[in-house]
């Protein structure tokens, strides 16, 4: 399993990285390293071991805690696939475009009925219910145009990133195929031909075979760098854009709750029944919506420079590596040509 390092160092007073990940049978254990100057911790530096389920639990806890509703919450690691019932749940998500809002409302009620049963599939259940909610919330007019514009931008941006990710996958596979198929086959053929060739040309064939073997290693390194730099960056931001869209979804939900509380208050006043209770609920929804909107706006505004900085850093590093590999290839070819000229 590849060792990973995650940069969470927004605040120098709390630095966290994951320097190692170890696979043991069906479990993956992550080493989490923390350095801090905050007085709430017992030690300024420590290591702990965590499993995949711990990160999922942390993510779900953050999502469900209202204090963090106005933040972009990083995505949880991918969960294991479930067969059978999971495929049936997946089918519901795939039918999203062909269902009416009324059908989705009914589907959502049916899914909610599973909430307290053993057939609930963790985060996947939540994502399907959220998808149903998003369909029901389609067309809701935001109070602040900023959120409408941001929603449209993130949807388009996500599609562009997804398309780029597919193309990056193809590019990486192409480089790997050149190395593992074309160069290997060419080197092997030249080597076999050299063994059957008793004349003076034998040493030249062996040198060219050696050249293609070196080019194979270089091309494999190009593929590996593209995977670690470009593909990982694109996949990471596909998930982070989903997290930003989730934040907008929570804002829309808070707006609808606030509008519904206004309607409930009007009805209570009309009937002169439970007016104080309705007023308290309306004030609570109003406060929640205003706080959430303010925090979400700040998060989304700060998300852009972070995103731009990350892309600039990774693309610059990848470009430098591409130039380095290209120069190395030129050097290998030139060395081989010089060898032939000298002989």
pLDDT tens column, 235-287: 989 999 999 999 999 999 999 999 999 999 999 999 888 999 999 999 999 99
In the chain, domain spans: 14-64, 85-136, 145-342
Evaluate if residue 136 carries a pLDDT over 60.
no
Q: Which CATH architecture has domain 145-342?
A: Up-down Bundle (1.20)
Q: Is 129 exposed, middle or buried (0-12, 13-18, 19+ CB in 10 A)?
A: middle
What pLDDT does 163 receive?
95
Least confident of 59-73, 106-120, 186-200, 296-310: 106-120
Residues 183 and 218: beta-carbon distance below 8 Å: no
What pLDDT does 162 receive?
94
Residue 203's pLDDT band (cuts 50, 70, 90): confident
pLDDT tens string 276-334: 999 999 999 999 999 999 999 999 999 999 999 999 999 999 999 999 999 999 999 99
What pLDDT does 64 receive?
87
What pLDDT does 86 receive?
46
Residues 231 and 165: beta-carbon distance below 8 Å: yes
List the helix and strand counts (H, then E) for the chain.
Answer: 9, 3
Q: Is 241 exposed, middle or buried (0-12, 13-18, 19+ CB in 10 A)?
A: buried
Residues 168 and 226: beta-carbon distance below 8 Å: yes
How many other CB atoms are found less than 10 A from the CB of residue 139? 7
What pLDDT does 100 receive?
54
pLDDT tens string 78-106: 644 434 444 444 544 555 554 455 655 55
Evaluate if residue 117 carries a pLDDT over 60.
no
Strand-by-strand arrangement of the 14-24 sheet: 14-24, 27-36, 45-51
State how far the Cα of 179 lies from the Cα of 334, in Å rounded to an integer: 19
Long-range contacts of 118-122 (CB under 8 A, 24+ apart): 119/85, 121/82, 121/85, 121/86, 121/89, 122/56, 122/60, 122/79
Backbone angles phi, psi at 33, to 5 degrees: -105, 130
pLDDT tens string 99-114: 455 655 555 555 555 4
Kindly state the DSSP code that residue 230 receives in the 8-state scheme: I
- Mean of the per-residue pLDDT values for the chain? 81
* Superfamily of structural domain 14-64: Phox-like domain (3.30.1520.10)
What pLDDT does 311 receive?
93
Sign, CA dihedral 296-299-302-304, equals negative
Helix/strand/coil for 141: coil
Helix/strand/coil for 18: strand
Q: Retrieve residue 216's tokens.
A: 């194979």
pLDDT tens string 17-44: 888 877 777 777 888 999 999 888 889 9
């Amino acid at each position: 399993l590849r060792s990973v390092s995650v940069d969470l160092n927004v605040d120098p007073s709390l630095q966290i990285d994951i320097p190692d990940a170890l696979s043991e049978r069906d479990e993956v254990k992550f080493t989490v390293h923390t350095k801090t100057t905050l007085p709430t911790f017992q030690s300024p530096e420590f290591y702990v071991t965590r499993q995949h389920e711990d990160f999922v639990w942390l993510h779900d806890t953050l999502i469900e805690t209202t204090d963090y509703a106005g933040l972009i919450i990083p995505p949880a690691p991918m969960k294991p696939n479930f067969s059978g019932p999971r495929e049936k749940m997946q089918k519901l998500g795939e039918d999203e475009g062909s269902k009416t809002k009324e059908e989705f409302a009914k589907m959502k009620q049916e899914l909610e009925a599973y909430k307290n049963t053993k057939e609930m599939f963790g985060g996947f259940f939540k994502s399907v219910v959220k998808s149903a909610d998003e369909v029901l919330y389609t067309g809701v007019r935001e109070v602040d145009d900023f959120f409408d514009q941001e929603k449209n931008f993130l949807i388009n941006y996500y599609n562009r990133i997804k398309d780029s990710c597919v193309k990056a996958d193809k590019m990486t596979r192409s480089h790997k195929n050149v190395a593992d198929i074309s160069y290997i086959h060419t080197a092997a053929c030249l080597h076999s031909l050299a063994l059957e060739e008793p004349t003076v040309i034998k040493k030249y064939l062996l040198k060219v075979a050696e050249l293609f073997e070196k080019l194979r290693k270089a091309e494999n390194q190009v593929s590996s760098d593209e995977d670690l730099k470009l593909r990982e960056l694109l996949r990471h931001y596909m998930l982070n854009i989903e997290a930003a869209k989730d934040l907008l979804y929570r804002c829309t939900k808070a707006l609808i709750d606030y509008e519904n509380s206004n309607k409930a208050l009007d009805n209570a006043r009309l009937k002169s029944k439970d007016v104080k209770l309705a007023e308290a609920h309306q004030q609570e929804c109003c406060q929640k919506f205003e706080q959430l909107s303010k925090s979400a706006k700040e998060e989304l505004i700060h998300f852009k420079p972070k995103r731009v900085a990350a892309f600039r850093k990774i693309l610059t590093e990848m470009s430098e590596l591409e130039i380095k590999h290209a120069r190395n290839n030129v050097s290998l070819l030139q060395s081989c040509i010089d060898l032939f000229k000298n002989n």
